[in-house]
Amino acid sequence: MRAVVVIAALGAAFAAAAPPAAAFTNAQVPGLQVALRAHGVYRGPIDGVAGPQTAAAVRAFQRLAKLPVDGVAGRRTRAALGPLGKPLFGRRVLRGGAVGWDVSVLQFLLRQRGVDPGGIDGRFGAGTRRALRRFQRRAGLAVDGIAGPSTMAALDSSGTRVPFASAAPTARHYTVRPGDTLTGIAARYGTTLSTLARTNRLDPNRFLLVGARLRVPTGVVAGRGEVRALLDRWAAHYGVDARLVRALAWQESGYQPQIVSHAGAHGVMQVTGGTWEFVETVLLGRSMARTTEGNIRVGTAFLAHLLRRFRGDERLAVGAYYQGARSVRRHGLFRETRRYVANVLALKSRV
């Protein structure tokens, strides 16, 4: 997966230029609309719909801010929007005096639930506090005028809230055998010597005791067999041909969880940071642990999304995974992409 995928992914997440039929409601979008309105480039309603009007406003703001004009409300664009461009709804507890994107979303959701905060402007004032307390009382929550995880969950049922914290990574256990070394165990489990030593409070320069029980971080999994099993599991979960998922993973990384590309794509599925954010925020509505299984799930979910977007055409979906969906729609498959797609499809019968 190349860096260009970020553009397509976040474009779909926040105001990609799409026909009206493709418009959708996303709990994060009101924050974007309020921030754009504050800069004078959006005059439409604060309705949470990432349609053509919102997309046009994103591009207009990008021109004013001298940013790449791609219609994508990615990190750089949100940072340029200033205080109202961050943080995403769900990243923090909200209380009186807060200012930001998430406050705009809170106000929008309160209004949707029939309690008027007095305005949707990204500023948590007395009106927002009164509306929040009314909502909490009606919902049977603690009436404290503070929007924490429970209140946010009750307000937002869209599945697009960013969770407060990622799931904590787990660890497996390994019993040291004769001939084992920390370096060898780390390589077997796809972690690093320093991580393994730090996790177990060991001096990497000293001998291991046979029979010692080590905690091995499961940021990645051991062996190609386990990787293949995870690929099959998540392919079945998302209704994607397991042969295609395995072939794509082999083409991208050779099933090696520790690989990081020059573009910053990482893991078995070579997922970029932007694509990871898109999948968490839009497709899954939850944070994913940065583990091998998390990487495989994110990559497979994104491939399933591309297959839906290209009406089941594997050639175009795989091409979009490599080249970016927006680019494929505009330009077709580049020569390099055609070679990539041919390799992946040829691998379907071999991995």
Q: Which residue intervals of the chain bear CATH 1.10.101.10? A: 4-85, 101-155
Residue corresponding to tokens 């790449």:
68
Q: What is the mean pLDDT of residues 13-35?
A: 59
Q: CB count, 10 Å around CB of 105?
A: 33
Q: Which residue intervals of the chain bear CATH 3.10.350.10? A: 171-217
Most confident of 88-102, 148-162, 218-232: 88-102
176 Ramachandran zone, left/alpha/beta (phi>0; psi -120 to 50): beta
Assign domain 223-347 to a CATH class: mainly alpha
Which CATH fold topology does 101-155 show?
Muramoyl-pentapeptide Carboxypeptidase; domain 1 (1.10.101)
**87: preceding bond cis by omega (within 30 degrees):** yes
- Of 48-57, 177-186, 284-293, 341-350, the range with the lowest mean pLDDT is 177-186
Exposed (0-12), middle (13-18) or buried (19+): which is 36, by Cβ within 10 Å?
buried
Task: Decide: helix, strand or coil at residue 346.
Answer: helix
Q: What is the mean pLDDT of residues 140-160?
A: 76
Which CATH fold topology does 171-217 show?
Membrane-bound Lytic Murein Transglycosylase D; Chain A (3.10.350)
Q: Which residue intervals of the chain bear CATH 1.10.530.10? A: 223-347
Residue pLDDT, tens place only, 203-235: 877 778 888 888 876 544 445 677 888 899 899
Torsion sign, CA atoms 62, 66, 68, 69: positive
> Does the predicted TM-score (pTM) go above 0.85?
no
- pLDDT score for 203: 80
- Of 6-15, 68-77, 147-156, 196-205, the range with the lowest mean pLDDT is 6-15
pLDDT at 250 over 70: yes
Q: What is the mean pLDDT of residues 74-103?
A: 90
Closest CA to 7 of 75, 72, 79, 81: 72
- pLDDT score for 21: 30
Q: What is the mean pLDDT of residues 99-112?
A: 94
d(Cα 107, Cα 127) in Å, to the nearest integer? 10
- The percentage of the chain sitting over the pLDDT mark of 70, rounded to a whole number, equals 83
Which CATH fold topology does 4-85 show?
Muramoyl-pentapeptide Carboxypeptidase; domain 1 (1.10.101)
Q: What is the mean pLDDT of residues 134-159?
A: 80
